[in-house]
Amino acid sequence: MGLGVLHGFRTWPITALCVLFVIPLGAAVVRAEGAQENAIAVRNAWVESATLDENESAAYMVLENVGGGDDRLVDARTDAAEAVELRTYTAAELGLELIAVDAIPVRQAGIARLEPDGYHLALLGVAELQPDGAPVELILEFEGAGEVVVHADVSSEGSAGSLDGRE
């Protein structure tokens, strides 16, 4: 009976309908699952200048979860420092206390701000002092999204206003 071109849509065989509708739907599902990979966007990244008396620095940025579920930043590294710690401040008896954390949450369709008085990346054992504007590559490891490479610039003055989500 063929594809029923002369007899109308009702005479199309089931296999022709599967080819036209079911197979493309399966392809869409594969693309949607694959779209969750590297589903973290990073904006406004910058690294605080290290000083001569301290060989520590910090990195700040906005992490935006554009994937399909909650995620967590679980590790970070850079060639610019011996180690990188995930840190935040917590309320203590005499004010705020700086503590290391195991992970920084990034909720589905949400953002996490890494900023001077909150979550941030502490760069420990900075290899050498970098001038303002020097590039620093950071590799962030997310529980779900995997590795995300970030390029940040060194700044002695910070990046006031840059963490509010505006580009």
Domain ranges of the chain: 1-34, 40-155
The rounded distance, in Å, linking the Cα atoms of 16 and 164 is 52
State whether CATH 3.40.50.2300 applies to domain 40-155: no
Burial of 81 from C-beta contacts in 10 A (0-12 / 13-18 / 19+): buried
Specify the pLDDT at position 160: 46
pLDDT tens for the chain, 167 residues: list them.
554 444 454 444 544 433 334 333 333 222 334 444 558 999 999 999 987 668 899 999 999 999 889 999 999 999 999 999 999 999 888 888 899 999 999 999 999 999 998 999 999 999 788 899 999 999 999 999 999 999 999 998 766 445 544 33
Beta bridge partners of 63: 42, 112
DSSP state of 162: T
Q: How confident is the model at residue 110, as a pLDDT?
A: 95
What is the predicted pLDDT for the residue at 19?
39
For residue 36, the model assigns a pLDDT of 46
pLDDT of residue 127: 78
Q: Which of the 8 DSSP states describes residue 165?
A: S
For the record, the structure tokens of 24 come out as 């493309």
Residue 3 DSSP SS3: coil
Question: Distance between CA 8 and CA 51 in Å, rounded?
Answer: 78
